[in-house]
Amino acid sequence: MRVRAHLAEFLGTGLITATVVGSGIMAQNLSDDILLQLFINTFATVMVLALAIWLLTPVSGAYFNPAVVFIAFLRKRESLVTAVTFSAIQIVGAAGGAIVAHALFSRALIDPSTNVRDGRALFISEIVATAGLITTIFIASNQGRGDQVFWLVPMWIGSAYVFTSSTSFVNPAITLGRSLTNSFSGIAIASVPLFIAAQFIGALLGHMIANLLVKPVQK
C-alpha cells in the first residue's frame, strides 16, 4: 500500500472540502448577497484546487475524487485495489474537511444539511459539470500535457460553478462531505444519491469524449 499517496489523497480531499465549506460559512457571515457568497466560495475553491493539484500530483496523482479515480482505473492507470482504497480515503478526508471547517467557525462539528437539491436541471448540471472535468483532465493527458491540469481543472470548476444550476459539485466524496454542513455549501443527504449518480454518468461521458477528440499519446 502506498502510504504517502493515500495520505496525500486524504489531505488533499480534506483541504478542498474544508475550503468549500469554510468559505461558504465565511461568505454567509460577511454578506446576505447570494451573488457575493457564490463568488467568495468559487474564488476560494479555485485557488485551493490549483494549489493542491500542483503540490500533490507527484505524490499520488492528485485525484481527490472517486469519479476521477474510477476513470483512471478504466484507463488502466490505477489498479482496482488502489481505486477502491483511494476512494475510501477520499471520503474520509472529505468528512474530516467538513468537520475541520466547522471547528474553524465554532460550529457543531457535524451539522447535517437540510438543503434539498433535487430535480432534472440539477441532475443534468452534474452530468455536464463532471463530464467537463473528466474531459479536461484526459484530453490534456491524451495530448501529453497532464502536467497542466493544476490550472486547467480550476478553470473548468470555476466556470462550472457559475454556469450550472448545481454549482458543480462533480465529486462524490466531497458531495458526501458537504452533507455534513448545514451552511451555504451543504446538500441534504437525501439529495446525495442523485448527485453521485449524475457524477458517474458524467465521468463516463467525459472519458468517451476525451478519447473521441484526442487519441492518447503513444509511449
Query: What secondary structure does DSSP assign to 79-114, as a single string?
Result: -HHHHHHHHHHHHHHHHHHHHHHHHHTT--S-B---
Could you report the per-residue pLDDT of 90-149, keeping only the tens digit for each?
999 999 999 999 999 999 999 999 999 999 999 999 999 999 999 999 999 999 998 999
Q: Check residue 171 and report its DSSP letter.
A: -
Domain chopping of the chain, boundaries: 3-213
**Where residue 216 falls among pLDDT bands split at 50, 70, 90?**
confident
- Cβ neighbours, 10 Å, residue 29: 11
Residue type, 70: F
* 181, β-bridge pairs: 111
Q: Has residue 1 got a pLDDT over 70?
A: no
**Where residue 163 falls among pLDDT bands split at 50, 70, 90?**
very high
Q: Is the CATH code 2.60.40.1840 the one for domain 3-213?
A: no
Give the span between the Cα atoms of 134 and 153, in whole angstroms. 9
Q: What percent of the chain has pLDDT over 70?
A: 98
Give the span between the Cα atoms of 210 and 217, in whole angstroms. 12
**Where residue 48 falls among pLDDT bands split at 50, 70, 90?**
very high
Give the span between the Cα atoms of 196 and 105, in whole angstroms. 28
The three cell numbers of residue 177 are 462531505
What's the pLDDT at 115? Answer: 95
